Structures are given as structure tokens and as C-alpha cells.
Amino acid sequence: TQLLEQSPQFLSIQEGENLTVYCNSSSVFSSLQWYRQEPGEGPVLLVTVVTGGEVKKLKRLTFQFGDARKDSSLHITAAQPGDTGLYLCAGASTGAGSYQLTFGKGTKLSVIP
């Protein structure tokens, strides 16, 4: 059974601060996706990383896929209140079942104005 551990579980920071959240596993994934989920809504895709060592930037968000494709990180620069939400990582398994995503439990981020 593949597991994805996200840390920290909760994070409360002041507006303007930087932060990093982590997504770790002992399993190799063919790709890893990051989603953000607002209360009462479904997950919204932020980015997909596919290649080991890949770095993708989305405005103030930087995503990195580990060289071994077992872990990933999300770094937010100068956080804003609009960044508040639940951040989920999800790994797609290698092989024929790659449609089946394994989700972490998420990091709940609160950015205080």
C-alpha cells in the first residue's frame, strides 16, 4: 500500500512570510500532483510534476519533485491571505494503474493578515 505523508499538518503564518510544505513517501510515483482545496469545495489542481528533480514555478509557488520521485515540496514566497486553504499532494502509481491517485491528508495553511 502506497502512503504519502504530508507535513506539517497545520501551519499558521503572518502575511509576507515564506513557508515550505512537504510530501514524503517510501514509494516511487510516476507523477505527483498538488491540489488546493477550499472548505466545501473539491480539490483544484495547481501543478503536476513528472520528472525526478523537476522544479515548476507558479507565480509565488515553487514545486519540486525529488530526484528519486518519492517526495515533493511546495514553497510559497511572501504568503498572502488568499493562499489560505488545504494543500494536498497526490501521487500517481507507476504502471498500468497510474490513474489511481494516492492522496496525502493535507497541510492546512492559514495566512493571517
Residues that bind other proteins (CB under 8 A): 4, 30-31, 33, 35, 40-45, 47-48, 50, 88, 90, 92, 96-106
Q: How far is the CB of 112 from other proteins (least distance, A)?
A: 23
Cβ-based nearer residue to other proteins, 47 or 76: 47
DSSP label at 83? G
Q: How far is the CB of 44 from other proteins (least distance, A)?
A: 7
How far apart (Å, rounded) are the C-alpha atoms in residues 75 and 94? 26
The β-bridge partners of 110 are 12
How far apart (Å, rounded) are the C-alpha atoms in residues 33 and 91? 6
Q: How far is the CB of 66 from other proteins (least distance, A)?
A: 17
